[in-house]
Amino acid sequence: MLPFLSGELKELYLEMSTESAFAANEALKVIIHRTPSLVKLNLEAQVQGTSVETSLAKWLETTENLEEISLPPYYLTPALVQTLGSLPQLKVIEQNFKFTHPSNSSVVLQALPPGTFPHLTSISFNATLSDARKFLLASQEVGSRLVCITLHASGTMDSGDILNFTRHITQNCPMMTNLGLDLSKALESGEQSVSPLTMELLESLKKLRHSWATFGRKTSFKI
Protein backbone atom coordinates (compact mmCIF):
# COMPACT_ATOMS: atom_id res chain seq x y z
CA MET A 1 0.00 0.00 0.00
CA LEU A 2 1.18 3.54 -0.85
CA PRO A 3 4.41 2.37 -2.54
CA PHE A 4 5.33 5.94 -3.56
CA LEU A 5 6.07 6.97 0.03
CA SER A 6 9.73 7.43 0.88
CA GLY A 7 11.90 8.99 3.52
CA GLU A 8 12.71 11.86 1.11
CA LEU A 9 9.09 12.91 0.51
CA LYS A 10 8.53 16.63 1.28
CA GLU A 11 4.90 17.17 0.32
CA LEU A 12 1.93 14.80 0.47
CA TYR A 13 -1.69 15.17 -0.62
CA LEU A 14 -3.64 12.28 0.89
CA GLU A 15 -7.32 11.77 0.09
CA MET A 16 -9.17 9.12 2.07
CA SER A 17 -12.62 8.81 0.51
CA THR A 18 -13.51 5.73 2.53
CA GLU A 19 -16.32 6.03 5.07
CA SER A 20 -14.89 3.12 7.05
CA ALA A 21 -13.01 4.17 10.18
CA PHE A 22 -11.28 0.77 10.19
CA ALA A 23 -9.96 1.22 6.64
CA ALA A 24 -8.82 4.76 7.37
CA ASN A 25 -6.98 3.68 10.51
CA GLU A 26 -5.28 0.82 8.68
CA ALA A 27 -4.09 3.23 5.97
CA LEU A 28 -2.66 5.62 8.55
CA LYS A 29 -0.90 2.83 10.42
CA VAL A 30 0.93 1.83 7.22
CA ILE A 31 2.35 5.35 6.85
CA ILE A 32 3.91 5.59 10.33
CA HIS A 33 7.71 6.12 10.13
CA ARG A 34 7.63 6.35 6.31
CA THR A 35 7.59 10.16 5.93
CA PRO A 36 10.25 11.56 8.29
CA SER A 37 11.14 14.43 5.90
CA LEU A 38 7.55 15.57 5.28
CA VAL A 39 7.20 19.37 5.29
CA LYS A 40 3.68 19.90 3.94
CA LEU A 41 0.62 17.66 4.39
CA ASN A 42 -2.90 18.03 2.98
CA LEU A 43 -5.20 15.37 4.42
CA GLU A 44 -8.76 15.07 3.13
CA ALA A 45 -10.98 12.45 4.72
CA GLN A 46 -14.64 11.48 5.12
CA VAL A 47 -14.28 9.79 8.50
CA GLN A 48 -14.62 11.84 11.69
CA GLY A 49 -11.46 13.06 13.37
CA THR A 50 -12.23 11.29 16.65
CA SER A 51 -12.34 7.92 14.87
CA VAL A 52 -8.77 8.20 13.55
CA GLU A 53 -7.11 10.55 16.05
CA THR A 54 -4.91 7.88 17.65
CA SER A 55 -3.52 6.53 14.37
CA LEU A 56 -3.13 10.01 12.91
CA ALA A 57 -1.36 11.27 16.03
CA LYS A 58 1.07 8.35 15.99
CA TRP A 59 1.92 9.08 12.35
CA LEU A 60 2.38 12.81 12.90
CA GLU A 61 4.68 12.14 15.85
CA THR A 62 7.18 10.86 13.26
CA THR A 63 7.04 14.04 11.11
CA GLU A 64 9.21 16.43 13.10
CA ASN A 65 10.00 18.51 10.00
CA LEU A 66 6.34 19.27 9.27
CA GLU A 67 5.71 23.00 8.69
CA GLU A 68 2.22 23.10 7.14
CA ILE A 69 -0.82 20.89 7.60
CA SER A 70 -4.35 21.04 6.18
CA LEU A 71 -7.05 19.01 7.92
CA PRO A 72 -10.82 18.49 7.63
CA PRO A 73 -13.14 20.31 10.07
CA TYR A 74 -13.25 19.05 13.67
CA TYR A 75 -9.88 17.28 13.41
CA LEU A 76 -8.23 19.38 16.13
CA THR A 77 -9.05 16.80 18.79
CA PRO A 78 -7.17 16.68 22.12
CA ALA A 79 -4.85 13.94 20.84
CA LEU A 80 -4.08 15.86 17.65
CA VAL A 81 -3.52 19.15 19.47
CA GLN A 82 -1.07 17.45 21.82
CA THR A 83 0.86 15.92 18.92
CA LEU A 84 0.82 18.97 16.64
CA GLY A 85 1.78 21.21 19.54
CA SER A 86 4.97 19.23 20.03
CA LEU A 87 6.15 19.53 16.42
CA PRO A 88 9.06 21.98 16.50
CA GLN A 89 8.68 23.37 12.95
CA LEU A 90 4.90 23.61 12.52
CA LYS A 91 3.89 27.08 11.31
CA VAL A 92 0.54 26.74 9.55
CA ILE A 93 -2.70 24.85 10.28
CA GLU A 94 -5.25 25.07 7.46
CA GLN A 95 -8.65 23.51 6.80
CA ASN A 96 -10.14 21.80 3.77
CA PHE A 97 -13.79 21.11 3.03
CA LYS A 98 -13.91 18.57 0.22
CA PHE A 99 -15.92 16.04 2.23
CA THR A 100 -17.08 17.95 5.30
CA HIS A 101 -18.36 21.51 5.75
CA PRO A 102 -18.47 23.47 9.01
CA SER A 103 -21.84 23.31 10.72
CA ASN A 104 -23.38 23.74 14.11
CA SER A 105 -21.68 21.19 16.29
CA SER A 106 -21.34 20.24 19.92
CA VAL A 107 -17.63 19.64 19.29
CA VAL A 108 -15.65 21.86 21.69
CA LEU A 109 -12.51 23.46 20.31
CA GLN A 110 -9.44 22.14 22.07
CA ALA A 111 -7.40 24.98 23.56
CA LEU A 112 -3.75 25.34 22.54
CA PRO A 113 -1.86 24.97 25.86
CA PRO A 114 1.00 27.25 26.95
CA GLY A 115 4.40 26.00 25.91
CA THR A 116 3.11 24.32 22.74
CA PHE A 117 3.21 25.27 19.04
CA PRO A 118 6.47 27.22 19.36
CA HIS A 119 6.49 28.44 15.73
CA LEU A 120 2.79 28.50 14.83
CA THR A 121 1.88 31.74 13.03
CA SER A 122 -1.30 30.87 11.12
CA ILE A 123 -4.40 28.84 11.96
CA SER A 124 -7.71 28.15 10.23
CA PHE A 125 -10.62 26.62 12.15
CA ASN A 126 -14.41 26.41 12.30
CA ALA A 127 -16.59 27.50 15.21
CA THR A 128 -19.35 29.84 16.24
CA LEU A 129 -18.15 33.37 16.95
CA SER A 130 -18.72 32.80 20.66
CA ASP A 131 -16.74 29.54 20.71
CA ALA A 132 -13.98 31.14 18.65
CA ARG A 133 -13.54 33.86 21.28
CA LYS A 134 -13.49 31.27 24.07
CA PHE A 135 -10.92 29.25 22.12
CA LEU A 136 -8.62 32.25 21.71
CA LEU A 137 -9.04 33.25 25.36
CA ALA A 138 -8.04 29.74 26.43
CA SER A 139 -5.08 29.80 24.01
CA GLN A 140 -3.68 33.21 24.91
CA GLU A 141 0.02 32.37 24.84
CA VAL A 142 -0.14 30.75 21.41
CA GLY A 143 -2.70 33.31 20.21
CA SER A 144 -0.40 36.20 21.10
CA ARG A 145 2.09 34.91 18.52
CA LEU A 146 -0.38 34.34 15.69
CA VAL A 147 -0.04 36.47 12.57
CA CYS A 148 -2.99 35.06 10.62
CA ILE A 149 -6.39 33.66 11.63
CA THR A 150 -9.10 32.37 9.31
CA LEU A 151 -12.44 31.58 10.94
CA HIS A 152 -15.11 29.58 9.12
CA ALA A 153 -18.06 30.63 11.26
CA SER A 154 -21.34 28.84 11.88
CA GLY A 155 -24.37 29.46 14.04
CA THR A 156 -26.61 32.50 14.43
CA MET A 157 -24.95 35.89 14.49
CA ASP A 158 -25.49 39.59 14.06
CA SER A 159 -23.21 42.55 13.39
CA GLY A 160 -22.58 42.96 17.13
CA ASP A 161 -21.26 39.40 17.40
CA ILE A 162 -18.89 39.99 14.49
CA LEU A 163 -17.73 43.30 15.97
CA ASN A 164 -17.01 41.73 19.37
CA PHE A 165 -14.92 39.03 17.73
CA THR A 166 -12.86 41.42 15.60
CA ARG A 167 -12.28 43.67 18.62
CA HIS A 168 -11.09 40.68 20.60
CA ILE A 169 -8.61 39.85 17.83
CA THR A 170 -7.16 43.34 17.63
CA GLN A 171 -6.92 43.68 21.43
CA ASN A 172 -5.54 40.24 22.31
CA CYS A 173 -3.50 39.16 19.28
CA PRO A 174 -0.79 41.85 19.03
CA MET A 175 1.11 40.13 16.19
CA MET A 176 -2.00 39.72 14.02
CA THR A 177 -1.78 41.23 10.53
CA ASN A 178 -4.19 39.00 8.56
CA LEU A 179 -7.78 38.09 9.47
CA GLY A 180 -10.22 36.11 7.34
CA LEU A 181 -13.89 35.64 8.25
CA ASP A 182 -15.90 33.13 6.25
CA LEU A 183 -19.47 33.73 7.38
CA SER A 184 -21.13 32.37 4.25
CA LYS A 185 -22.06 28.93 5.62
CA ALA A 186 -24.02 30.44 8.49
CA LEU A 187 -25.84 32.84 6.18
CA GLU A 188 -26.55 30.27 3.47
CA SER A 189 -28.22 28.06 6.07
CA GLY A 190 -30.79 30.80 6.61
CA GLU A 191 -30.16 30.94 10.33
CA GLN A 192 -30.09 34.70 10.56
CA SER A 193 -29.73 37.66 8.27
CA VAL A 194 -27.00 40.13 9.16
CA SER A 195 -25.91 43.53 7.99
CA PRO A 196 -22.24 43.23 8.85
CA LEU A 197 -20.71 46.19 7.05
CA THR A 198 -20.96 48.72 9.85
CA MET A 199 -18.50 51.56 10.34
CA GLU A 200 -17.62 50.17 13.78
CA LEU A 201 -16.62 46.87 12.20
CA LEU A 202 -14.47 48.55 9.58
CA GLU A 203 -12.84 50.72 12.26
CA SER A 204 -12.02 47.62 14.34
CA LEU A 205 -10.07 46.18 11.41
CA LYS A 206 -7.94 49.25 10.69
CA LYS A 207 -4.95 47.95 12.67
CA LEU A 208 -4.67 44.84 10.50
CA ARG A 209 -2.65 44.78 7.30
CA HIS A 210 -5.05 42.47 5.43
CA SER A 211 -8.65 41.56 6.24
CA TRP A 212 -11.34 39.82 4.25
CA ALA A 213 -14.83 38.56 4.92
CA THR A 214 -17.30 36.50 2.93
CA PHE A 215 -20.97 36.83 3.80
CA GLY A 216 -22.47 34.85 0.95
CA ARG A 217 -21.75 33.76 -2.57
CA LYS A 218 -21.72 37.31 -3.91
CA THR A 219 -21.07 39.46 -0.84
CA SER A 220 -17.56 40.03 0.41
CA PHE A 221 -15.04 42.72 1.21
CA LYS A 222 -11.31 43.11 1.58
CA ILE A 223 -9.31 45.71 3.46
The predicted structure's pLDDT at residue 52: 95
Phi-psi region of 144 (alpha: psi -120 to 50; beta: other; left: phi over 0): alpha
If one counts every other C-beta atom within 10 angstroms of the C-beta of residue 187, the result is 19
pTM of the predicted model, to two decimals? 0.85
Q: For residue range 98-154, list pLDDT tens digits in order.
A: 776 555 455 668 899 999 999 999 999 888 888 899 999 999 999 999 999 999 887
- What 3-state class would DSSP assign to 95? strand
The predicted structure's pLDDT at residue 99: 76
Spatial distance between the Cα atoms of 12 and 40, rounded to a whole number of angstroms: 6
Q: Which residues pair with 123 in a beta bridge?
A: 93, 149
The predicted structure's pLDDT at residue 199: 66
Between strands 210-214 and 220-222, the pairing is antiparallel
Mean pLDDT by 10 residues, the chain (223 residues): 77 93 93 94 92 95 97 90 96 87 61 95 90 92 94 79 86 89 61 56 69 58 52
| Residue 90 CB-density burial (10 A; 0-12 exposed, 13-18 middle, 19+ buried) | buried
The predicted structure's pLDDT at residue 216: 56
